[in-house]
Amino acid sequence: MAKRYGGHYSPEAESNASVPQQNPYKNAQPDPIGLRSNLMFVPPAVLVLFSLMDGATGLALGLIGGGFWTAAAWMLREGLRAESAYDARRVARRPALPRKLAAAFLTGVGGALAAWKAEPGLLIAAVYGSAALGLHLAAFGFDPMKDKGVEGIDDFQQSRVARVVDDAEDYLTAMRDAALRAQDRQIETRVEQFQSVARDLFRTVEEDPRDLTAARKYLTVYLQGARDATVKFADIYGRSGDAQARADYLSLLDDLEKNFAARNRKMLLEDRSDLTIEIDVLRDRLQREGVHLDLT
């Protein structure tokens, strides 16, 4: 059976045994922009190209139609990202702007203008525009249309949590981008592993906004410091390849990961203690009302 190389000169040989290795892709958020959405930028370019020899009216319609299609392609990308963020969270609100639906509408308008350019007529433009709109919805679907997991949660508290988590995600993104500049695979893996642990804390806070007070400094001060340290490390290591700077940075990631994991475990234990208290209170009330529970 084939074995992964892990000798003395392997870049993975310096892993710290004191830190439990986790799946770095557990809470990963891959970019949802794929080939199909990128191909949506091709039709407007083709439409403008074929409109160059159609005179002033044809060129104007081609440019306007191409503009609608380009805006639709851009809006689709934003809608896919918003949908991915919605799916990644257990507690989430529906997007304020249904971007995928807006992209379908813009695609329909662009299709109507392209049809009018080729064969003027209101009915023909409406048919082709409706067909383009329907095909877009069939290919990419609708936006999330309802909130998820927000029953019984205060709207104001949830909004506060959403803002803090969004800022924390920006810090993680900046960390990842800076780590890529270091061009060191182990550094990239350790940053991804830390991001996974940090996102566990995000999900815990999202599920119970009351935890925000206890976790705020982790989601703001500590993550901002981690981002700044990563940027400085990438600059130093990219220029000099300083082995001591690399070791110090890996040690920092170990400490951050341990502290974030410990904070998350503590909040989960506190949440479980609250649940136990609620259960005990309910049982006492039932027993006072003459309802005896068989706990065997």
How far CA 183 is from CA of 178, 186, 187, 249, 293, in Å, comes to 10, 9, 8, 14, 62
pLDDT per position as a tens digit, 38-86 = 899 999 999 999 998 888 888 999 999 999 999 999 999 999 988 887 7
| DSSP-derived secondary structure letter, 211 | G
Q: Where are the domains of the chain?
A: 35-140, 155-288
CB atoms within 10 A of CB 95: 19
The helix (H) or strand (E) run that includes residue 248 is helix 243-288
Q: Distance (Å, rounded) from C-alpha 137 to C-alpha 179?
A: 38
pLDDT per position as a tens digit, 182-212 = 888 999 999 999 998 998 888 888 777 777 7
Residue whose structure tokens are 């109507």: 112
- The alpha carbon of residue 230 and the mean position of all alpha carbons in its chain are separated, in whole angstroms, by 21
* Helix intervals (H) in 89-121: 99-118
pLDDT per position as a tens digit, 123-166 = 999 999 999 999 999 999 998 888 776 565 656 677 788 888 88
Q: Distance (Å, rounded) from C-alpha 58 to C-alpha 73?
A: 22
Q: Does the reported pTM lie above 0.75?
A: no
Asked if residue 14 has pLDDT above 90, the reply is: no
- The alpha carbon of residue 58 and the mean position of all alpha carbons in its chain are separated, in whole angstroms, by 41
